[in-house]
A = this chain, B = another copy of it.
Amino acid sequence: MKLHELLERLNNLKQMPRTGWLLCNVPLTDVEDVAQHTFDVAAITLLLADELERRGKKLDRERALSMAIVHDWAEASVGDFPYTALKHLGPAGTKKSIEERALEEILNKLPNRIKYLALWREYSEKRTIEAKLVHAADYLSMLVQALKYRERGNRSKELDELWHAVHKDIKIYEKELPSVMALIKELDERYSALP
């Protein structure tokens, strides 16, 4: 794939809906897309990384930012699987290997492909502090977006369930990423203040 083909392919992420919201009864014309979501994750990663450094935590910001930017590129080929699909995909790890194959195809022949694949793998393994940070940013982005949908009127129980599920998922980062927890507390206040 030539570079211009990759750019056109990534442009498709502006069209790919984040299907979780559709299952929360968000109208198709108001659904967040993967490009918008990636913007969010990258911006939050940047803000949190700087916040962590201010508190004396060391991390490789360049790698964290690159990982945020790359983390959903595979969806240009396979789309965003609805969460209700996950249990039907097959054995644990199937989603990961589908996306990995898709990313490999998209990056095919790109001179720096190894680097992007490595970033994506690091992200999906959730072991380094940079990968954890981007996952936390990913969850925070969901909370902010859920709050926006709730503010627009959405009262589906699925949105409520997603809100609480994200809280559980993000909990494992609590110790390493204290500023995340402060932020969640603020968002909780906003969410529960809505009628």
**Do most interface residues of chain A lie in helix, strand or loop, or is the interface mixed?**
helix
Number of copies: 6
Which residues of the other chain, B, contact A98 by a CB distance below 8 angstroms? 85, 88-90
**Residue among B7, B78, B111 making CB contact with A82, cutoff 8 Å:** B78
State whether the Cβ of A144 lies closer than 8 Å to any Cβ in chain B: yes
List residues of chain A with CB under 8 Å of any chain B CB: 2-4, 6-8, 10-17, 19, 22-23, 25-33, 35-36, 38-40, 42-44, 46-47, 50-51, 54, 61-62, 65-66, 69-70, 73, 77-79, 81-82, 84-85, 87-90, 94, 97-99, 101-102, 105, 111-112, 115, 140, 144-145, 147-148, 151-156, 179, 182-183, 186-187, 190, 194-195
